[in-house]
């Protein structure tokens, strides 16, 4: 009996051992990129040699299980080197893997007979775009969670030898854990999180975002008003149903654009289930590698022909400067009204190092959307401010429990470590010094507590009137007040021994809608030909014009009061009152009344003006940078500016007059032909005025190119009292040059310009100037005006030479016989452009 019990026990143990040996194998983990540490969604994970497998989710996670015995698991994804890992059968095990990018370019596909099977799917996708595109909805809204991380990557040994880097060696020694197992080390410098509500409305097309909470940690960056706005969802909108996607300021053609067959090659790779959706997988790549197009994969839902998932990459071959790689991954979900909206979006931009003594830059963006509501539009007034913040937007930035509750996804261990590392970096003195220098170079001001010293453009000058000019200035910042801004600048000329100064006080009455008042008083030396509202006084062109010999200079004293308010979305109004006194520092006279029996000759000029400026830009986006309101540009619609100026002699001016001005500005996409920048403007003066009060059009006699000037026109060459002007600046991007084998690797880009000016001056305005004669008795014209023909100049050139320089060849096509003018010129310019 005892022997039977022992045999029974042994049999039970053997069965148990056999059952354990034959137990379930469970493998789970995460797949990431080796170079960036970013998750790889949609990657294939299979037990090697079988079809038993799965794809990673949007966060790169996977889980596989089987009762069969296998000794290895295989990971693969398009554009990456496959990798195999050994496993232990019958056990649960965690295997995280990093895949290296495959630097070998994919070969073009060749179809020998019949139509490419992917083409019919593409036609169905395009036919159903209007149904699946989120823009077909009358409205939608959702809660958005946005996470942004920026790192220094590609840290070379030579870069580590820099003195500033050596002082953070202790930090660098620990950063390898940021990238992970096979990854390269990165140095995090910024991370942010934001929770917001995003709203969209069609007819009219408007969007609004309310930023609810932000958490920002960065080297040289604080959670200020501007940061809190730009880290939200408004600047992370990617819609592949559009023909073109604007990324880093460039327009990339979508793989499902209406002209898909012109730009891309396609391959139908597979059909598979993604959750509850049966999908086709299509791989695609651009026909010309230098084009602004994507390479990647998309998963198309079989029943609706909608994009379920998409993964696209722009490589360094594309005609984009400084970019090693751009990667966008998106997962979309259907709404109750058929259209699909992004549920999760991840964007990675890898900026290459400029030299072997510098490092690269890595920016990673993640957006998660939930609680989607469709077709419940709000009143138009709700959308008037494209972006706004709640008052306590960053009050809970340090409340870790609060953020753990409201995040859509938990932070990874790496991201938690990023916060810790950045906090360590910001406490290193040399880091703070360098960030202060960079901020000063960018803004022109150096911050000292509640005050900013600058702008440095006022600190020094040298010209024939003032001699050496020394100056100093400053302003208050938001730490001083959120409602008041005070500013003052003072300068002294060693030759003319005159003080010049400017000060202003500004009061912000409301931030929503933005409303402010400002008073300014100024005494300064200027030039007649620079009395033009097309020039910003902070412009480099204006700063350079103050050196050397000044043309028709005068001493200007000015009092200026203005009231500005936003009346509605895209509509703003400015009302100003200006008093100015001009004392010419050159030979100038005019008649107060040329038709009097004994005309009185005057030298000085006084004006008193009321000015109304109205601007309408339907889809212009503004953000608030502390106490400043900054335009981020328009998207589709033109910007229209109207100005009316009323001169009043009753308030101390020498003349009563009426002036009207109108301008229309538009950025025009031209598909494969690039993008054009169009400006159409005009002005009319109804009364008689001496020429300093007329319109002096900006000439350019420097060797440099400026897009607001007539580059082959001399300084103060033409004056008008009525005019119409047309400007067209066009960048062809890689059009034509991308197709030339010897040129395309240089990434040069063609540019073209056309400037046309038509107008004139009435005889009564000529009569205001006393005649002067040369030694031969011939009358000298006090100024020049256009005749019956318009002034026309046209140019062509190449930009992106050595990634920074532009050369324009410009021809003057009319008024070519004027003495002293050049009819052809070569102009140079410097531009940092992606």
What pLDDT score was predicted for residue 172?
Answer: 52
C-alpha distances out from residue 11 to 15, 18, 21, 32, 90, Å: 6, 10, 15, 46, 21
Q: CA angle 527-533-535, nearest 5°?
A: 70
Write down the pTM of the prediction.
0.77
Pairing type for strands 467-476 and 484-493 reads: antiparallel
What whole-number distance in Å separates Cα of residue 299 and Cα of residue 707? Answer: 44
Between these two residues, 629 and 725, which has the higher pLDDT value? Answer: 725
pLDDT digits (tens, 9 = 90+) for 119-135: 999 999 999 999 999 99
Between these two residues, 414 and 765, which has the higher pLDDT value? Answer: 765
Pairing type for strands 749-760 and 791-801 reads: antiparallel
Between these two residues, 50 and 379, which has the higher pLDDT value? Answer: 379
For residues 251-265, give the mean pLDDT. Answer: 92
Which residues, in sequence order, are CB contacts of 256 under 8 Å at separation 6+? 122, 125, 126, 129, 240, 241, 298, 307
Whether the per-residue pLDDT at 16 is higher than 70: the answer is no
3-state secondary structure 341-363: EEEEEEEEEEECCCCCCCCEEEE
C-alpha distances out from residue 522 to 212, 467, 556, 582, Å: 42, 20, 8, 12
For residues 40-65, give the mean pLDDT. Answer: 86
What pLDDT score was predicted for residue 769?
Answer: 86
Banded model confidence at residue 476, pLDDT cuts 50, 70, 90: very high
Between these two residues, 35 and 266, which has the higher pLDDT value? Answer: 266
pLDDT digits (tens, 9 = 90+) for 802-821: 878 899 999 999 999 988 88
DSSP string, 414-442: HHHHHHHHHHHHHTSHHHHHHHHHHHHHH
Between these two residues, 54 and 540, which has the higher pLDDT value? Answer: 54
Q: Which residue is listed with tokens 């790169």?
A: 60
What pLDDT score was predicted for residue 12?
Answer: 41
Strand order in the sheet with 187-201: 264-274, 277-286, 295-301, 307-315, 323-334, 340-351, 360-374, 139-153, 187-201, 206-218, 387-389
Whether the per-residue pLDDT at 182 is higher than 60: the answer is no
Q: Among the listed ranges 175-179, 196-200, 552-556, which one has the minimum average pLDDT value? A: 175-179
pLDDT digits (tens, 9 = 90+) for 261-275: 999 999 998 888 888
Roughly how many angstroms between the first and final C-alpha of the chain, as a whole number? 88
What whole-number distance in Å separates Cα of residue 165 and Cα of residue 169? Answer: 6
What pLDDT score was predicted for residue 109?
Answer: 46
Whether the per-residue pLDDT at 181 is higher than 50: the answer is no
C-alpha distances out from residue 379 to 129, 384, 389, 624, Å: 27, 10, 19, 24
Whether the per-residue pLDDT at 574 is higher than 90: the answer is yes
pLDDT digits (tens, 9 = 90+) for 596-625: 878 888 889 999 999 999 999 988 888 777
What pLDDT score was predicted for residue 797?
Answer: 94
For residues 193-199, give the mean pLDDT. Answer: 93
Q: What is the mean pLDDT of the chain?
A: 85
As a whole number of angstroms, the longest Cα–Cα distance in the chain is 148
Q: Which domains does the chain have, with CATH numbers?
A: 19-99 (2.60.40.1120), 187-434 (no CATH), 660-834 (no CATH)
As a whole-number percent, the residues of the chain with pLDDT over 70 amount to: 87
pLDDT digits (tens, 9 = 90+) for 281-337: 999 999 888 888 999 999 999 999 999 999 999 988 888 888 888 999 999 999 999
DSSP string, 467-493: EEEEEEEEEE-TTT-SSEEEEEEEEEE
What whole-number distance in Å separates Cα of residue 316 and Cα of residue 323? Answer: 6
What whole-number distance in Å separates Cα of residue 297 and Cα of residue 310? Answer: 6
DSSP string, 250-294: EEEE-TTSTTHHHHEEEEEEEEEEETTEEEEEEEEEESSTTSS--
Q: Which residue is listed with tokens 């296998």?
A: 70
Taking alpha carbons only, the member of 648, 678, 681, 657 closest to residue 666 is 678
Q: CA angle 494-495-497, nearest 5°?
A: 65
With beta carbons less than 8 A apart as the criterion, state whether 487 and 475 touch: yes
pLDDT digits (tens, 9 = 90+) for 777-808: 777 777 788 988 999 999 999 988 887 889 99
From the centroid of its chain, how far is CA 312? 21
Q: CA angle 506-509-515, nearest 5°?
A: 90
Between these two residues, 112 and 152, which has the higher pLDDT value? Answer: 152
With beta carbons less than 8 A apart as the criterion, state whether 378 and 201 touch: yes
What whole-number distance in Å separates Cα of residue 806 and Cα of residue 800? Answer: 6
Between these two residues, 767 and 504, which has the higher pLDDT value? Answer: 504
Whether the per-residue pLDDT at 660 is higher than 90: the answer is yes
pLDDT digits (tens, 9 = 90+) for 685-740: 999 999 889 998 988 888 989 888 999 999 888 999 999 999 999 998 888 888 78
The DSSP output letter for 249 is T
- DSSP-based three-state secondary structure for 507: strand
Banded model confidence at residue 11, pLDDT cuts 50, 70, 90: very low
Whether the per-residue pLDDT at 478 is higher than 60: the answer is yes
């Amino acid at each position: 009996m005892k022997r039977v019990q022992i045999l029974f026990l042994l049999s039970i143990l053997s069965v148990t051992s056999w059952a354990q040996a034959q137990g379930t194998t469970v493998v789970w983990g995460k797949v990431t990129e080796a170079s960036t540490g970013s998750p790889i969604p949609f990657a294939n994970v299979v037990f090697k040699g079988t079809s038993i497998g799965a794809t990673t989710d949007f966060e790169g996670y996977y889980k596989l299980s089987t009762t069969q015995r296998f000794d290895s698991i295989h990971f693969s994804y398009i554009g990456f080197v496959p990798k195999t890992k050994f496993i232990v059968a019958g056990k649960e095990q965690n295997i995280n893997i990093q895949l290296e990018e495959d630097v070998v370019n994919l070969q073009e596909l060749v179809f020998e007979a019949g139509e490419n099977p992917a083409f019919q799917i593409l036609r169905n996708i395009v036919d159903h775009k209007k149904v699946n595109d989120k823009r077909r909805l009358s409205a939608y809204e959702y809660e958005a969670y946005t996470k942004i991380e920026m790192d220094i990557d590609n840290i070379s040994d030579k870069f580590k030898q820099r003195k500033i880097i050596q002082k953070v060696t202790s930090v660098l020694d620990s950063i390898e854990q940021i990238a992970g197992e096979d990854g390269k080390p990165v140095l995090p410098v910024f991370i942010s999180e934001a929770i917001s509500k995003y709203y969209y409305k069609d007819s009219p097309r408007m969007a609004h975002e309310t930023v609810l909470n932000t958490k920002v940690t960065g080297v040289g960056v604080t959670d200020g008003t501007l940061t809190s706005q730009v880290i939200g969802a408004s600047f992370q909108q990617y819609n592949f149903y559009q023909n073109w996607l604007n990324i880093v300021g460039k327009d990339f053609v979508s793989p499902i654009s209406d002209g898909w067959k012109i730009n891309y090659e396609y391959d139908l790779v597979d059909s598979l289930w993604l959750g509850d959706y049966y999908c086709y997988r299509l791989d695609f790549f651009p026909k010309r590698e230098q084009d602004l197009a994507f390479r990647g994969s998309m998963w198309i839902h079989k029943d609706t022909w909608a994009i379920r998932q998409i993964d696209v990459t722009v490589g360094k071959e594309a005609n984009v400067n400084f970019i090693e790689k751009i990667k966008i991954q998106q997962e979309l979900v259907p709404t109750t009204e058929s259209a699909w909206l992004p549920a999760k979006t991840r964007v990675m931009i890898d900026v290459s190092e400029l030299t072997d003594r510098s490092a690269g830059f890595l920016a990673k963006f993640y957006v998660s959307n939930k609680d989607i509501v469709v077709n419940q539009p709000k009143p138009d007034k709700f959308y008037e401010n494209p972006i706004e913040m709640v008052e306590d937007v960053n009050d809970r930035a340090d409340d870790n429990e609060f953020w753990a509750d409201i995040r859509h996804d938990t932070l990874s261990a790496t991201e938690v470590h990023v916060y810790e590392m950045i906090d360590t970096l910001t406490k290193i003195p040399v880091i703070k010094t360098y960030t202060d220098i960079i901020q000063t170079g960018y803004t022109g001001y150096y911050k000292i507590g509640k005050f900013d010293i600058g702008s440095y453009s006022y600190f020094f000058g040298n010209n024939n009137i003032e001699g050496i000019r020394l100056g100093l200035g400053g302003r208050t910042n938001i730490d001083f007040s959120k409602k008041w801004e005070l500013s003052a600048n003072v300068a002294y000329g060693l030759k003319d021994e005159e003080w010049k100064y400017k000060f202003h006080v500004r009061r912000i009455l409301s931030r929503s809608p933005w409303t402010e008042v400002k008073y300014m008083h100024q005494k300064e030396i200027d030039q007649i030909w620079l009395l033009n509202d097309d020039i910003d006084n902070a412009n480099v062109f204006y700063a350079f014009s103050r050196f050397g010999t000044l043309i028709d200079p005068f001493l200007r004293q000015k009092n200026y009061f203005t009231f500005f308010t936003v009346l509605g979305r895209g509509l703003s109004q400015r009302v100003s009152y200006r008093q100015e006194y001009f004392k010419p520092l050159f030979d100038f006279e005019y008649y107060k009344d040329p038709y009097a029996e004994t005309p009185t000759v005057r030298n000085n000029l006084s004006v008193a003006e009321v000015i109304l400026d109205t601007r309408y830009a339907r889809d212009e986006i503004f953000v608030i940078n502390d106490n400043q309101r900054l335009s981020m540009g328009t998207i589709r619609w033109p910007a229209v500016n109207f100005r009316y100026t009323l001169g009043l002699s009753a308030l101390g001016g020498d003349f009563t007059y009426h002036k009207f001005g109108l301008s229309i500005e538009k950025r025009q996409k031209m598909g494969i032909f690039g993008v054009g920048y169009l400006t159409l403007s005009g002005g009319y003066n109804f009364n008689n005025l001496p020429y300093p009060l007329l319109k002096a059009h900006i000439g350019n006699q420097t060797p440099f190119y400026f897009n607001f000037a007539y580059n082959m026109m001399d300084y103060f060459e033409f004056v008008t009292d009525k005019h119409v002007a047309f400007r067209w600046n066009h960048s062809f991007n890689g059009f034509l040059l991308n197709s030339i084998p010897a040129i395309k690797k240089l990434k040069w880009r063609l540019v073209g310009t056309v400037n046309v000016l038509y107008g004139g001056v009435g005889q009564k305005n000529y009569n205001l100037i006393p005649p002067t004669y040369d030694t031969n008795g011939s009358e000298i014209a006090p100024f020049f005006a256009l005749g019956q023909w318009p002034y026309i100049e046209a140019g062509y050139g190449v930009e992106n030479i050595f990634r920074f320089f532009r050369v324009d060849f410009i021809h003057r096509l009319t008024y070519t016989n004027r003495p002293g003018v050049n009819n052809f010129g070569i102009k140079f310019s410097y531009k940092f452009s992606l």
